[in-house]
Chain A
Amino acid sequence: MELEAQPFVINFGPSHPSTHGVFRLRTILDGEVIVDVEPIFGYLHRGIEKLAEGRTYVQNIPFTDRLDYLASMTANHGYVLAVEKLAGIEVPERAEYLRVIMSELMRISSHLMAVGFLTNELGAMMTPLLYMYREREKILDLFEMVCGQRLTYNYMRFGGVSHDIPREFLPAVKKFVREMPGFIDEYDQLLKENEIVLARTKGVGILPADVAINYSVSGPMLRASGVKWDIRKDDPYSVYDRFDFDIPTGSAGDIYDRYRQRIEEMRQSVRILEQAIEQIPPGEVCTKVPSLLRPPKGEVFARIEAPKGELGYYLVSDGSIAPYRFRVRPPALINLGVLRYMSRGWKIGDLIAIFGSVDICVAEVDR
């Protein structure tokens, strides 16, 4: 009798400890080796893009909070930039600086989560993650000080931000900026030269630069592959052109490079914060904008450098109070496209690690 080997199909998810939410990886295995992997999503689809068409422009700001809930401030930022571009609204300088401060704090927080969960998926028993939570808590405290919220901020408005910062905010940010490099060194001490981390991540899940560009990958993943592309520098928005910061890039594009990329970006964010606190001018934080905004007919695309990659908003206005079309370019969804390329031929443990290094937020993937 001839025995035939069957492919072993296993579903990681929809409810699995390391899928970052409700997400499914349909995997075909040959023993431990990944023969094929197919990401299946849509479990968290809330129809935000359609819902947004029935609401006014201002009412849509809270929706953007719920896209990438680990980086709500940047999601806000992208949307208000798009509407401002559409309606031609001027933003006071102080508000621009506040937006930059919030976005960079958000970037640090999001990258902390990305690296923390990556180590968790590599099999650390929560320890690096909980150390990173310590700093994330400080950032969330800062946000709470500003807008009273810790997760969904709804802070940005067309023409500025919802309200000015309290007096004790800037000293608190200063203290955070002073301490943060020390904490980043602490993570490096635990992870950077760790032999097991190197063995698990070096050379695993390589994403070459040309493939990354072909798949339209953006953000830290693209830069880790060695492509120097950062919208803050290449297509500056807000007041990013006034700051002096570098764009770190990786070389090999493996998991280790993606992890290092996020750590280095945190250091650069700290640099931007330092300068922003020094330069922030006094003055108004929001221009007068009618609450029932009627932008002129037309369409607009605005993009920002969100922590997870290039976050774009495409808006079409028909001159009414609600957008005719509200479309989000979610960086995480597009970065996921390359998962199959990266993980075939590796083992189960590597698949989970590669998936973690993509850094997705299912709420943003499914919208």
Chain B
Amino acid sequence: MSVWEYIVDLFVNVRTDWIEWLQGFNLASSLIILLDSLIGIILMLIFVFPIVIIFIWLERRFIAWMQLRPGPNRCGPFGLLQPIADAIKTLIKELIMPAKGDKLVHWLAPVVLFFSGLMLFAVIPIGKGHLGALADLNIGILYIVAIGSLSVTAIFMAGWSSNNKYALLGAMRAVAQLVSYEVPMVLSIVGVVLIVGSLQMSEIVGQQSYPFILVQPLGCFIYFIGAMAELNRSPMDQIEAESELTTGYFTEYSGMKFATFFLGEYISTLAIATIVTTLFLGGWKGPFLPVWFWFVFKVFAVFLVILWMRATLIRVRIDQIMAFSWKFLLPMALINIFITAAEVLIWDKWMSGWESFPWPFIFVNWAIAVVLILLWSKIFFKLGGGRVEVGEVRPGYSQGYGADLQAPVS
């Protein structure tokens, strides 16, 4: 094996050598698995943090560039050391605990959020075959869905334990929003699972002879929007809503507890970017260059799109955001499942000669996606999810909300 070939699939090759070296000691196979996992977890921690730090730096510089300002540029070259300076600053700050808050839950919330984000990386493949992922579970996607929804608990814990009205409002919004977006998000993945016929992440990447965004445009679109809502990123940052709730559920957090929340959110962002890359953008696959390069490149591309949206769009109101999930994304996700299932049937019955999912479906699916989005947005406004028509005041929202309104201020 030449040096280049070794570098191309670096992660898998190093891991293979490491396991072979361990087997040389005649250890029990369970011990080998344990040692392998331990090293994997440590490596993951070592590699996730630098990427998160680059993420934070990139976010600040990229948004600054979009907003015609220089951004951080004092610490190190191009301000690269700014996240480290921030980390030191938050470390030496006082930890404030609300007097009537729930101490244990208040401490636990950032930890839960942090690890629920970190655990997602376990099943993400960064190289060929089974050894590409730290733990290539045969229920990989199910694992992602299960672990991904843990963050709701953390956010509600934070909001409840803070004993603060802003935090409580933020937490209430969080529960409503995150639970609603979980549904279309999970359903949008089903299309991919139907095509691949497996829940295993390595299998999903292995079958993408072209990125699945081409055959699953609708699924990718729904998953991406759902992910934005899960991450509380603008335009779906109802939960934090700086101009309304100061910072929502972590209003009462300071010092390292705040930093843990902050890091946890960025780790979740990184995780979502890797999941989008794996499911819809072909994972580590790419021509000529090393596979890890393609993986990191795609992850950063997804992250930049998230940043772009954050810098451009305006926050949606809470009832609009809920309506968007239930009246727009959910029906679209169901229709997407139906169409994909029909196509998989056709592939099985009449096009069984095709090795991968037949490419003619790309055009069909894109056409369906465009027409559906255009049509459904019209229906969506009829259903009351969009703007209020001028002159018409809807019941329940109107100036005459109820008889109580006429009561004098006490």
Q: A residues near B, CB below 8 A?
A: 8, 10, 16-18, 28, 30, 32-33, 35-36, 38, 119-127, 130-131, 134, 190, 194-200, 202-204, 206, 251-252, 254, 341, 344-350, 352
Name the B residues within 8 Å of A196 (CB-CB). Answer: 235, 313-316
- Provide the residues of chain A in CB contact with B73, threshold 8 Å: none
Chain B residue nearest in CB terms to A251? B390
Shortest beta-carbon distance from A212 to chain B in Å: 14
Tell me if A347 and B69 are in contact (CB < 8 A).
no
The answer to whether the Cβ of B241 comes within 8 Å of any Cβ in the partner chain is yes
Contact A349 B244 (CB under 8 A): yes
Chain-A contact segment, one of B28-36, B97-105, B262-270, B396-404 = B396-404
Within the complex, the shortest CB–CB distance from B246 to chain A, in Å, comes to: 6
The docked-state distance in angstroms from the alpha carbon of A219 to that of B244 is: 26
Task: Knowing A10-B169, A344-B405, say if A194 contacts B390 (CB, 8 Å).
Answer: no
Q: Which residue of B lies closest to A344 (CB)?
A: B405
Question: In this assembly, does B310 line the interface, its C-beta being within 8 Å of a C-beta of chain A?
Answer: yes
Complex: A355 Cα to B400 Cα, angstroms? 19
| Contact A348-B244, Cβ < 8 Å, known A123-B314, A199-B316, A203-B390 | yes
- Chain B residues with CB under 8 Å of A195's CB are 386
B404 nearest CB across to chain A (Å) = 6
> Which of these, A123, A203, A251, contacts B392 with CB under 8 Å?
A203
**Secondary structure call for the A interface:** mixed
A244 to B302, CA, bound (A): 51
A18 to chain B: which residues have CB within 8 Å?
Answer: 243-244
Instruction: List A contacts of B66 (CB < 8 A).
Output: 127
Q: Is B318 part of the contact surface with A, judged by Cβ < 8 Å?
A: yes
B263-320 contacts to A (CB < 8 Å): 310-320
Docked CA distance A278–B327 (Å): 57
**B242 on the interface (CB 8 Å rule)?**
yes
**How far apart sit A122 and B235, CA to CA, in the bound complex (Å)?**
10
Residues of A within 8 A of B379 (CB): none
Among residues of A, the one whose C-beta sits closest to the C-beta of B404 is A35
A348 touches B169 (CB 8 A): yes
Which B-chain residue is minimally distant from A199 (CB atoms)?
B387
Query: B387 touching A38 by the CB < 8 A rule?
Result: no
* Residues of chain A with a CB closer than 8 A to B67's CB: 126-127, 130-131
**Contact status A349-B404, CB under 8 Å:** no
**B176 — nearest CB in chain A belongs to which residue?**
A32
* Interface core residue of B66, B169, B241, B243 (most chain A CB under 10 Å): B243
**B335 interface contact, C-beta 8 A:** no
- Cβ contacts under 8 Å, B238 to chain A: 349
B162, CB-defined interface residue at 8 Å? no
Does B63 make an interface contact (CB < 8 A)?
Answer: yes
Q: Chain B residues with Cβ under 8 A from A123's Cβ?
A: 234-235, 237, 241-244, 314-316
B232: min CB distance to chain A, Å? 12
A-contact 0/1 string along B253-269, CB 8 Å cutoff: 00000000000000000
| 10 more A-B residue pairs beyond the given contacts A125-B311, A127-B311, with a C-beta to C-beta distance below 8 A | A10-B166, A36-B405, A134-B68, A198-B387, A199-B386, A203-B391, A344-B405, A348-B169, A348-B245, A348-B318
Q: How far is the CA of A195 from the CA of B373 in the complex (A)?
A: 14
The chain B residue sitting closest to A8, CB to CB, is B165
Interface size class of B (residues with CB under 8 A): 35 or more
Partner of A349, one of B317, B388, B392, B409: B317
Residues of A within 8 A of B69 (CB): 130
A residues in contact with B242, CB < 8 Å = 17, 123
Q: Which residues of B contact A (CB under 8 A)?
A: 63, 66-69, 165-166, 169, 234-235, 237-238, 241-246, 310-320, 386-393, 397-401, 404-405, 409
Cα-based distance from A121 to B245 in the complex (angstroms): 11
Which residues of B are found within 8 Å of A190, using beta-carbon distances?
Answer: 312
- Between A and B, 17 residue pairs with Cβ closer than 8 Å are A28-B409, A36-B409, A123-B244, A123-B315, A123-B316, A124-B312, A124-B313, A125-B63, A131-B67, A196-B235, A200-B316, A203-B389, A344-B399, A345-B405, A349-B244, A352-B243, A352-B244
Q: How far does the Cβ of B279 sit from chain A's closest Cβ, in whole Å? A: 27
A183 to chain B, nearest CB (A): 12
CB atoms of B405 and A35 under 8 A apart = yes
Minimal beta-carbon separation of B262 from chain A (angstroms)? 16
A122 contacts B390, C-beta separation under 8 Å: no
* For the complex of A and B, 9 pairs with smallest distance between CB atoms: A123-B315, A203-B388, A345-B401, A18-B243, A199-B387, A130-B67, A252-B390, A202-B387, A121-B243
For B314, the chain A residues whose CB sits under 8 A away are 119, 122-124, 194, 196-197, 200
Q: Chain B residues with Cβ under 8 A from A28's Cβ?
A: 409
Q: Which residue of B lies closest to A196 (CB)?
A: B314
Closest-by-CB residue of B relative to A34 is B401
* Bound Cα distance A248, B310 (Å): 33
Q: Which residues of B contact A35 (CB under 8 A)?
A: 401, 404-405
Q: Within the assembled complex, what's the spacing in Å between the Cα atoms of A125 and B314?
A: 7
Q: A17-B242, A121-B243, A199-B386 are in contact. Are A345 and B400 (CB under 8 A)?
A: yes
Q: Does A346 lie within 8 Å of B397, measured CB to CB?
A: yes
**A352 to B165, alpha carbons, bound, how many Å?**
16
A131–B166 Cα distance when bound, in Å, is: 30
User: With A and B bound together, what is the CA distance between A84 and B27 in angstroms?
Assistant: 99
B contact residues around A30 at 8 Å (CB):
404
Chain B proximity of A115: nearest CB distance (Å): 12
Q: How far is the CB of A199 from chain B (nearest CB, A)?
A: 4
Contacts of A348 in B (CB 8 A): 169, 244-245, 318
Question: What residues of A have a CB within 8 angstroms of the CB of B315 in the complex?
Answer: 122-124, 196, 200, 349
Is the Cβ of A347 less than 8 Å from the Cβ of B317? yes
Which residues of B are found within 8 Å of A202, using beta-carbon distances? 387-390
A83 to B314, CA, bound (A): 45
B320 touches A199 (CB 8 A): yes
Docked Cα-Cα span, A200 to B235, in Å, equals 12
Query: Are A33 and B318 in touch, CB under 8 angstroms?
Result: no
A345 adjacent to B397 (CB under 8 Å): yes
Min C-beta distance of B251 to chain A, whole Å: 11
| Chain B hits for A134, CB < 8 A | 68
| Cβ–Cβ < 8 Å partners of B317 in chain A | 199-200, 347, 349-350
Residues of A within 8 A of B169 (CB): 10, 32, 348
A117 to chain B, nearest CB (A): 9
CA distance A341 to B406 in the complex (A): 11
**A203 contacts B387, C-beta separation under 8 Å:** yes
Report yes or no: A345 in contact with B387, Cβ–Cβ below 8 A: no
Give the CA-CA distance A347 to B237 in the complex, in Å: 16
* Bound Cα distance from A243 to B94, whole angstroms: 60
Could you tell me if A347 and B404 are in contact, using CB atoms closer than 8 angstroms? no
Q: Is the pair B393, A203 in contact by a Cβ cutoff of 8 Å?
A: yes
User: Contact at B399–A347, with CB atoms within 8 Å?
Assistant: no
Which chain A residues lie closer than 8 Å to B398 at the CB level? 345
Min Cβ gap A164→B in Å is 33
Give the nearest-CB partner of A38 in chain B.
Answer: B409
A222 to B172 CA separation, bound complex (whole angstroms): 37
Tell me, in angstroms, the Cα distance from A73 to B179 when the chains sit together. Answer: 52
